[in-house]
Structure 1
Amino acid sequence: MFCDSDVTERDYLRALVGHVANPAVTVRIRNKPCSPSQLVAHAASFRDKAPEDFDQVWCVFDVDDYSDIHQAVKKAGDLGIKLAVSNPCFELWLLLHHTPHTAHIMGYRQLVPLLTKHVPAYDKARINFPRDFGPSWARAVERARGLATSGQEYAVNPSTGVWALVEIIGGGSDRRR
Structure 2
Amino acid sequence: MCEGKTEKGYFTGMRTWRGPQLAVDAPQRDHRGLVREAGARRSDEYDEVWCVLDTELDDQLVQDLIQESRRLEVNLALTSPSFEFWLILHTRGYSRPFQSAREAERELKAIRPGWSKATTKFEDFEDGLDDACDRARKLHNGDGSPPNPSSAVWRLVEAIRRGGEQDGGHGYSPRE
CA positional deviation for 1:17: 2.4
Q: Is residue 2:129 matched to residue 1:137?
A: yes
Where does the alignment leave 5 or more consecutive residues of structure 1 unmatched? Answer: none
Relative to structure 1, the CA distance from residue 22 to residue 165 in structure 2 (aligned partners, 3 Å threshold; closer, same or farther) is: farther
Relative to structure 1, the CA distance from residue 156 to residue 22 in structure 2 (aligned partners, 3 Å threshold; closer, same or farther) is: farther
Asked if 2 retains the 8 angstrom alpha-carbon contact of 1:61 and 1:86, the reply is yes
- Aligned residue for 1:77, secondary structure, equals helix
Which has the higher mean CA deviation after the structures are superposed, 136-145 or 162-171?
162-171
- Aligned residue for 2:106, secondary structure, equals helix
Q: Is residue 2:154 matched to residue 1:163?
A: yes
- From 5, 16, 30, the equivalent of 1:35 is 30
- From 89, 92, 98, the equivalent of 1:96 is 89
| One-letter amino acid matched to 1:32 | P
- Aligned residue for 1:155, secondary structure, equals coil
**1:154-173 superposed Cα distances (whole Å, 9 cap, x missing partner):** 3311111111111222349x
CA positional deviation for 1:117: 2.5
Higher relative contact order (CA 8 A, sep 6+): 2
Which residue does 1:16 correspond to in 2? Answer: 14
Where does the alignment leave 5 or more consecutive residues of structure 2 unmatched? Answer: 170-176
Whole-Å separation in 2 of the counterparts to 1:98 and 1:108: 18
What CA RMSD, in Å, does the superposition of the two structures yield over aligned residues? Answer: 2.0
Count of aligned residue pairs for this structure pair: 164
| One-letter amino acid matched to 2:157 | V
- Aligned residue for 2:119, secondary structure, equals coil
**1:52-108 superposed Cα distances (whole Å, 9 cap, x missing partner):** 111111011101236622111101011211001111100000000000011111222
| One-letter amino acid matched to 2:155 | A
- Aligned residue for 1:86, secondary structure, equals strand
- Aligned residue for 2:140, secondary structure, equals coil
Query: What is the TM-score of this pair, normalised by structure 2?
Result: 0.85
Query: What is the TM-score of this pair, normalised by structure 1?
Result: 0.84
Relative to structure 1, the CA distance from residue 31 to residue 128 in structure 2 (aligned partners, 3 Å threshold; closer, same or farther) is: closer
Residue identity over aligned pairs, in percent, reads 29
- Aligned residue for 1:168, secondary structure, equals helix
- Structure 1 ranges of 4+ moved more than 3 A: none
CA positional deviation for 1:127: 1.3
